[in-house]
Structure 1
Amino acid sequence: MTLASPLPDYLVNRYHGWKATRYAENRSWYQKLASEGQHPRAMVISCCDSRVHVTSIFGADPGEFFLHRNIANLVPPYAPDGNQHGTSAAIEYAVTALKVPHLIVIGHSSCGGVKGCYDMCEGHAPALEEKTSFVGRWMDLLRPGYARLPEGTDEERVAALEKQGVLISLENLLTFPYVKEAVEEGRLSLHGLWTDIGAGGLECYDPERGGFVPL
């Protein structure tokens, strides 16, 4: 491989700073994680968006969350013969091997992937309609949520679609046999969250109220 480049200096410097401070202060904990394996308290499926920092939101330590990130924090339906295996593989491993007790899907405000889906459904994103668009074909998973949107401004409808993405992911999780079985047996609980990046707000889906409520 001749095209790989050295790491930028600022990242090298940050690494050495981490190694000399946080790692040095918690060396025994890192060694424990390495020798005893991982036993995460939850799996979190979040967006790739660089502004979404789940471990900071919950003050999580290394080893506490099994994290999976993808565009718009989506979960595809269970499809053993399909080709969307990255997210599905992470779910399978978390539930069947790590046996996490909680599985959290967290959406967020100003999600570019969700906005792309909205524009595509509105007929304003021809590039995403192309068969060669990986983003467009991934965002097809969110199209059912567009059909559920209430009337309102584009801004209001996009925000509603962000939350629909969380709900669709929760619905699709229950198409995985081992997820459904674990939920029915009380070994696993599913949670749907949405965070407002600018305001620092966090909302949780409440099935009894039929919507997201602030925490």
Structure 2
Amino acid sequence: MKSFPTTLLNGYRNFMSGRYVAERERYRVLADQGQKPHTLVIACCDSRAAPETIFDAGPGELFVVRNVANMVPPYEPDGQYHSTSAALEFAVQALRVKDIIVMGHGRCGGIGAALDPNAEPLSPGDFIGKWMGLVRTAAEQIQGNSVMTTTERQTALERISIRNSIANLRTFPCVKILEERGKIQIHGAWFDIANGELWVMDPQSKDFVRLEA
């Protein structure tokens, strides 16, 4: 297995001799009976902000969807390929999750790119540029705010993006109906990588409030 990353092989061996040993029975039950996670977390691909690590979750507890900048597109049943929408549909309709969390984080590269008027496409397809178009209007408004610092503009759009994704979540009929019936709760959260702080969005005011560790 020379071509496989050594660090991952070592990590797997540590997993098998450590966590798997401690939770072997739980894995067997999950294999036999299937998964029943209680929460869907829509998070960023960023390697520094893994939900399972942040929430100290065990196997089978979280159904995690990760994409660039933890965004949810609007409901568009147009016959095209929609990875995030497909995962959302499965979590809500098949797994019957009780909570949905849209979790952003500080220093998000996708949000930074959306705020950079000189950002160049990384490839001819410009997949990231098109994807970040979901927050283009908000980004353009924040770009022109000279009173805010670069860091303030970044944090502002990271949090606005979370609110935007929550609004898009509610365009999905299955989510809207279940939320209205009290079967699902929707939450927003923002994680600060630098100091480990978790900020949770107040459902009424929409402000982000830091949780006490």
TM-score between the two structures when normalised by the length of structure 2: 0.91
Q: Which runs of 5+ in 2 are unaligned?
A: none
What is the rounded CA distance, in whole Å, between the counterparts of 2:155 and 2:9 in structure 1?
A: 38
What is the rounded CA distance, in whole Å, between the counterparts of 1:23 and 1:135 in structure 2?
A: 36
Structure 2 SS opposite 1:125: coil
Cα separation, partners in 2 of 1:71 and 1:31, compared to 1, 3 Å: same
Q: Does 1:198 align with 2:194?
A: yes
What is the rounded CA distance, in whole Å, between the counterparts of 1:179 and 1:37 in structure 2?
A: 23
Q: Does 1:30 align with 2:27?
A: yes
Contact kept, 8 Å, 1:74 with 1:165, in 2: the verdict is: yes
Structure 2 SS opposite 1:127: coil
By how many angstroms is 1:172 displaced? 0.3
Q: Does 1:51 align with 2:48?
A: yes
Task: Within 5 Å, give how 1:114-129 maps onto structure 2.
Answer: 114-119=111-116, 123-127=117-121
Residues paired across the two proteins, number: 208
TM-score between the two structures when normalised by the length of structure 1: 0.90
Residues 11-68 of structure 1: per-residue CA shift (max 9 Å, x gap): 2222122112211222111100100100001000000000002112211111000000
What is the rounded CA distance, in whole Å, between the counterparts of 1:188 and 1:166 in structure 2?
A: 18
What is the rounded CA distance, in whole Å, between the counterparts of 1:187 and 1:52 in structure 2?
A: 28
Structure 2 SS opposite 1:43: strand
Q: Partner residue of 2:171?
A: 175
Q: Does 1:136 align with 2:129?
A: yes
What is the rounded CA distance, in whole Å, between the counterparts of 1:22 and 1:162 in structure 2?
A: 34
CA RMSD of aligned residues (A): 1.9
By how many angstroms is 1:144 displaced? 2.9
What is the rounded CA distance, in whole Å, between the counterparts of 2:8 and 2:150 in structure 1?
A: 39
The aligned amino acid for 2:118 is H
Q: Partner residue of 1:157?
A: 153
The aligned amino acid for 1:145 is A
What is the rounded CA distance, in whole Å, between the counterparts of 1:83 and 1:155 in structure 2?
A: 36
Residues 91-115 of structure 1: per-residue CA shift (max 9 Å, x gap): 0000000010000000000000000
Q: Once superposed, which parts of structure 1, at least 4 consecutive aligned residues long, lie more than 6 Å away?
A: none
Give the percent of matched residue pairs that are identical in Structure 1 and Structure 2: 45
By how many angstroms is 1:195 displaced? 0.8
